[in-house]
A and B are shown apart, each in its own frame.
Chain A
């Protein structure tokens, strides 16, 4: 890779990392906002409570339930972010593709939600273990999801499927028709690094990503 394309490759990686962390931080911020208002509501109720008009315990129970729900939501968001961040720990490692793509799809849900698009995932029951670069792999699949989202209309669906053929793992993405040549040109540095192959079917409404069991294989 030339120094110029190397720089562009790293810029793209940073772009991906930035897009994901910005999206997750917005989600966290929404949880803060709900928690903040519920805490304010409790203060309001306490301040306004009078001897002849005590606080209804059911009201506080409801606030407590809301706070509990938000805490659970926060735990899931942070867990996703934590898993995602640890992908850069090792450039190459053994990964369960089901787990990795599930986390990526969870992270991508907010991008789909903003466009009112349904993003669903279909997995094989048994783990699909390959040796690859988790960060670049997620970057590549995310780029495909974003390409589909850019062509999607509210109400459209995108499906990500993980399976395997004889000696390779396969990630299939279905969605609205996209210009697959442009996408594949953009994916080139990633497919090179992952020793992956790409294929488009159904006029760009189906994208296939073939991954070797091991990058060195």
Chain B
């Protein structure tokens, strides 16, 4: 998956930085945000193939950030990082529209697999949207 764009949201800057470095070494293009509001701004400015979001953050927590991100764009593919005791929250996040969740500290290769899956899903959604738009245009023009 070359140059897939990933948004990494975590208030632990040292964690986000090193994870970003490892992901970039695998060819991903990483943007980091240390809070929910900053992440919402990033999504307004740029398109992402996958979003990795920490559940426990100060101020706007992961669940609230997830809700607001999906409100802005329901096609976003969001993977939540959850603690062992907060797996219930992970399930709640799936119900709200997150693509998946993974326990933090995450196994790097598993996280990469999820990002891969998210990017593929995003691609399918983009293609589907494109097809729908094309079909609407064709119908409108009566061709």
Main secondary structure of the interface of A (DSSP, over half): helix
Q: Is the CB of A34 within 8 A of B18?
A: yes
Give the residue of A22, A25, A34, A116 whose beta carbon is less than 8 angstroms from that of B15: A34
Give the residue of A33, A37, A41, A154 whose beta carbon is less than 8 angstroms from that of B59: A154
Q: A37-B18, A41-B22 are in contact. Are A116 and B59 (CB under 8 A)?
A: yes
Q: Which of B14, B25, B104, B106 gathers the greatest number of chain A CB atoms within 10 Å?
A: B14
Interface size class of B (residues with CB under 8 A): 20 to 34
Q: Is the CB of A37 within 8 A of B85?
A: no
Q: How far is A187 from B6 in the complex, measured between Cα atoms in Å?
A: 48
Q: Is the CB of B58 within 8 A of A41?
A: no
- Residue of A with least CB distance to B86: A26
Interface: A90 (CB within 8 A): no
Interface: A6 (CB within 8 A): no
CB proximity of B131 to chain A, nearest CB, Å: 39
Give the residue of B15, B22, B58 whose beta carbon is less than 8 angstroms from that of A30: B15
Interface size class of A (residues with CB under 8 A): 20 to 34
Give the residue of A22, A26, A36, A48 whose beta carbon is less than 8 angstroms from that of B105: A36
Point out the residues of chain A lying under 8 angstroms from B97, CB to CB.
none
Interface: B19 (CB within 8 A): yes
Q: A22-B85, A30-B12, A66-B14 are in contact. Are A37 and B105 (CB under 8 A)?
A: yes
Q: Is the CB of A26 within 8 A of B56?
A: yes
Q: Is the CB of A29 within 8 A of B18?
A: no
Interface: A60 (CB within 8 A): no
CB proximity of B3 to chain A, nearest CB, Å: 18
8 more A-B residue pairs beyond the given contacts A25-B83, A41-B21, A116-B58, with a C-beta to C-beta distance below 8 A = A26-B83, A30-B12, A34-B18, A35-B105, A37-B15, A37-B108, A41-B18, A70-B14
Q: Which 7 A-B pairs have the closest CB atoms?
A: A33-B105, A36-B105, A37-B18, A34-B15, A114-B58, A116-B59, A32-B105
B interface residue numbers (CB < 8 A to A): 12, 14-15, 18-19, 21-22, 25, 56-59, 61, 83-85, 104-106, 108
